[in-house]
Amino acid sequence: MTAQPPHSVDTERVIIVGAGLGALYAALNLAPHPVLMISPDALGQGASSAWAQGGIAAAMAEADSPEAHAADTIRAGAGTVDADVAAFVTAEARAHILDLTAIGTPFDRDAQGGYVLSREAAHGLARVVRVQGDQAGREIMAALIAEVRRTPSVQVIEGVVATDLSTSDGKITGVVIEATDGSGPIRLRGTAVLLAGGGSGGLYALTTNPPRIRGQAIGMAARAGAVMSDAEFVQFHPTAIDMGEDPAPLATEALRGEGATLINRDGTRFMLNIHPDAELAPRDVVARAIFAETQAGRRPMLDTRTAIGAEITHRFPAVAEACRRGGIDPVTQAIPVAAAAHYHMGGIAVSAQGRSSLSGLWACGEASATGLHGANRLASNGLLEALVYGRRAARDIAKGLDRSDAPPVTLTLPNGGLPPDPALVASLRQTMTEHVGVVRDAAGLKTALCHIAALEAQAKGNPGFLNMTATATLIAAAALLRQESRGAQCRRDFPDTNPALAHRSTLTLTQALALRQSVTETSA
């Protein structure tokens, strides 16, 4: 952790870092206890949740059950899912769908009022609740934001980022914040801290994540000493639209659920010979196949022409709009795709109640590692996990609160502070894509650790960049330590799955830095 700033503000509010689905849902579930949300952007504009296209997985159909959902989750997770977590998360799913419906989320419904369900990769049947084809994240967020705006106990401060955690007597008591333009910092102390600041996909040069989602929340907790889990497991979405945008637009998995196929420039449907489920194989399998086609120069593409045709424009408007920007007509042309960093299964290790290893600190959403996803997240379980743990963390925090009111926080940020150097960020992202990507090996991971150390040395202690390099170091170190291929962790030098390693990993930043130092000294 960096030196704490001289200016401080105290509040009797719970501090929530982040403004995605988990953060908003936790804030609502803490009511009437007073909450302060820290959001870098205007609500709904900078969170991965708003970009989620598929929807929320839940056993809503009569033929389905939480047990079947849990079984699919465990199967997709490749041997490292916590079965108890999978059981209670899937059991709670239906209740959260009903709650979101009650606050106005316009889930797709059929003529009888039932939920329209789509099937996505590695699900045994259709169980993904969606909105207007590919608008789930945006519409769910809109409903939650409207509810938060109506909730007097929740204060939102926009345009502010957290860069450090603040401690007192071994307990997390608050955060260090600064404005997104760099002014600040000040120390903000509250009654509890919930980190809900997203994952780390933006640490990669090719990603589907919003620009600010670059491992900062995970890195902040790691630098404070929190235990991390499953850091090596980064999920690459197989069908990011390959059209030169950063971040890359997403072609939702629901398209493949509707029958869209993957072909290469020769027109060959290459998934047929790779997995019995073809395009609906687990994401890690499809991502590696896409990556292999790209590396071989065969230009992988998603073909929606026969299965969906002209209906794509109104059934999947986000995909159609992205294609239009890229000069692609999905009605008459196949959509070029690439595997892009999409979701981090690892993060801050938390209990069933969202508690981290540090007193006073909770985490939910993609910044956390709950054990639900294992080595490979089942499609549309991400938003579900954020809901379940957002509520569980809120209820656990509330047990230690006795206030139902607190004055609003007024901030005056001093001049000073600098955002991370864009050139260093760009170099870090390129390093991660080249050496810690879809397919890895020891040589590349060691090269990455050396590059990360060199970039960190140039950062002159900038806390925002140190959070990024902390998370990048954890991912690369954990990937180097896991000498096997399992789920999203693919090692070309250890291509087989080792049954003895069918367990979750844990790592602290201190341990990861020691490994990085050893690698750096050996490579010198």
Can you tell me the distance from the alpha carbon of 263 to that of 3, in angstroms, rounded to the nearest whole number? 53
Q: Check if the beta carbon of residue 231 is closer than 8 Å to that of residue 475.
A: yes
Q: If you ran DSSP here, which 8-state letter would residue 261 be given?
A: E
Residue that the structure tokens 């938390």 belong to? 350
Banded pLDDT at 263 (limits 50, 70, 90): very high
Banded pLDDT at 211 (limits 50, 70, 90): confident
Domains (range + CATH), the chain? 237-341 (3.90.700.10), 422-523 (1.20.58.100)
430-475: per-residue pLDDT in tens?
A: 999 999 999 999 999 999 999 999 999 999 899 999 999 999 999 9
pLDDT score, position 46 = 67
Three-state DSSP at 462 gives coil
C-alpha angle 155-160-162 in degrees, rounded to nearest 5: 100
Q: Is the pLDDT of residue 47 over 80?
A: no
Cα→Cα distances 142→51, 249, 322, 477, Å: 12, 20, 21, 38
Can you tell me the distance from the alpha carbon of 98 to that of 93, in angstroms, rounded to the nearest whole number? 9
Q: Which of 127, 256, 283, 391 is catalytic?
A: 283
Residue 146 neighbours by CB distance under 10 Å: 14
17-27: per-residue pLDDT in tens?
A: 999 999 999 99
Q: Check if the beta carbon of residue 264 is closer than 8 Å to that of residue 334.
A: no
Can you tell me the distance from the alpha carbon of 286 to that of 340, in angstroms, rounded to the nearest whole number? 12
pLDDT score, position 2 = 58
**460 dihedral zone (left: phi>0; alpha: psi -120 to 50; beta):** left
Three-state DSSP at 233 gives coil
For residue 413, what are its two tokens? 């940020």
Burial 281-294 (b: 16+ CB within 10 A, else e): bbbbbbbbbbbbbb
Can you tell me the distance from the alpha carbon of 482 to that of 107, in angstroms, rounded to the nearest whole number? 40
407 CB contacts (<8 Å, ≥6 apart)? none
Three-state DSSP at 12 gives coil
pLDDT score, position 506 = 98
| Alpha-helix residue ranges (DSSP H) falling in 169-262 | 216-223, 254-257
Q: Is the pLDDT of residue 366 over 90?
A: yes
Strands 128-129 and 117-118: antiparallel
Q: Is the pLDDT of residue 4 over 90?
A: no
- Select the more confidently predicted residue: 3 or 472: 472
**Cis upstream peptide for 32 (omega within 30°):** yes
β-bridge partners, 347: 229
Three-state secondary structure string covering 325-339: HCCCCCCCCCEEEEE
Banded pLDDT at 404 (limits 50, 70, 90): confident
500 CB contacts (<8 Å, ≥6 apart)? none
Q: Check if the beta carbon of residue 516 is closer than 8 Å to that of residue 477.
A: yes
At position 352, the amino acid (one-letter code) is A
Average pLDDT, integer, range 140-154: 94
Q: Check if the beta carbon of residue 284 is closer than 8 Å to that of residue 487.
A: yes
40 CB contacts (<8 Å, ≥6 apart)? 19, 46, 158, 159, 160, 161, 180, 212
* CA torsion angle 62 67 73 75 (round to 10): -110
For residue 24, what are its two tokens? 């908003």
Can you tell me the distance from the alpha carbon of 229 to that of 472, in angstroms, rounded to the nearest whole number? 14
At position 223, the amino acid (one-letter code) is R
Three-state DSSP at 178 gives strand
Residue 127 neighbours by CB distance under 10 Å: 28
Can you tell me the distance from the alpha carbon of 276 to that of 274, in angstroms, rounded to the nearest whole number? 7
Concerning whether 283 is annotated as a catalytic residue, the answer is: yes
54-102: per-residue pLDDT in tens?
A: 789 999 999 999 999 999 999 999 999 999 999 999 999 999 999 999 9
Q: Is the dihedral of CA 454, 458, 460, 464 positive or negative?
A: negative
299-324: per-residue pLDDT in tens?
A: 999 999 999 999 999 999 989 999 99
* CA torsion angle 70 240 118 100 (round to 10): 70
